[in-house]
Structure 1
Amino acid sequence: MPDLPYDLADLHDIPGTTIFTADSARRAYHLHRFCMSLMKEENRQRFRADEAGWLATFAMTAEQRDAVLARDYNRMIALGGNIYFLVKIASTDGISVAQAVSTMTDLDVADYTAMMIAGGRTPQGNRSIKGGW
């Protein structure tokens, strides 16, 4: 791995930011496999018909399965999930990425969308706690 111009540990102190790492990918491997299964219509139908039953066919942790059932995207990310995989759940539910991601904030979808159109969240208060960035 090439030398990075920063220490990965420093990224963990940015409020509201979860860094996706190789460790995250390993922890969420089966969660991501489930998400990828939703690319096929027959699997989306299976999931819609029996969510818990379809999830049980994947070797996810119980915590990951519970987070999927609750559509708790923040929890799925905390458990290693990557949003690029997780949006397949939102698509299966028939909601937009903006709708799904707004559930990860304290904003409703209209306010979240307006914030993003206006340029996103302010960096004020969302920088490294150590103040290095």
Structure 2
Amino acid sequence: MTQASGLNVPGTYLFDGDMAMKGYALNKMCFSFNDAANRQAFAADEAGYCWRYGLNDEQSRVVRERDVLGLLAAGGNVYYLAKFAGILGLDVQDLGAAQTGMSKEAFKQMLLEAGK
């Protein structure tokens, strides 16, 4: 986990320049999922698709394992990962819940209460 502005927020990673460089291939692949043909190509051959985008071993493993927190640790940006999560039938609230260790319903309730 990374500290930002003196805060240590469990389950979060500071997405800075280093993480952007680390996750470039992963984020580029996830951005490609904006195109339905690319989503179909990924579904047909996940390993080949990851290789095509140059994912490293760690990134390929967390994609294969559907490890959301691992994707963030591997340099994934939540906005690009949302494209991958969509393939899995997940949304950004599912990602937030995974980051915080909460159920999706508890996470949604927390957001509602924070907005009051």
TM-score normalized with structure 2 length: 0.83
Task: Please list, as runs of the form range in 1=range in 2, the aligned pairs for 1:25-104 lying within 5 A after superposition.
Answer: 25-104=20-99
- More divergent stretch after superposition (94-103 vs 106-115): 94-103
Structure having the higher helix fraction is 2
**Mapped contact 1:28–1:81 kept (Cα < 8 A):** yes
Aligned residues with identical type, % of pairs: 31
Task: Please list, as runs of the form range in 1=range in 2, the aligned pairs for 1:10-29 lying within 5 A after superposition.
Answer: 11=5, 14-16=8-10, 17-29=12-24
Q: Which runs of 5+ in 2 are unaligned?
A: none
Ranked by relative contact order (alpha carbons within 8 Å, sequence separation 6 or more), the top structure is 1
RMSD between superposed Cα atoms in Å: 2.0
Alpha-carbon distance in structure 2 between the residues aligned to 1:101 and 1:41: 25
TM-score normalized with structure 1 length: 0.74
Moved over 4 A (4+): none
- Displacement of 1:71: 1.9
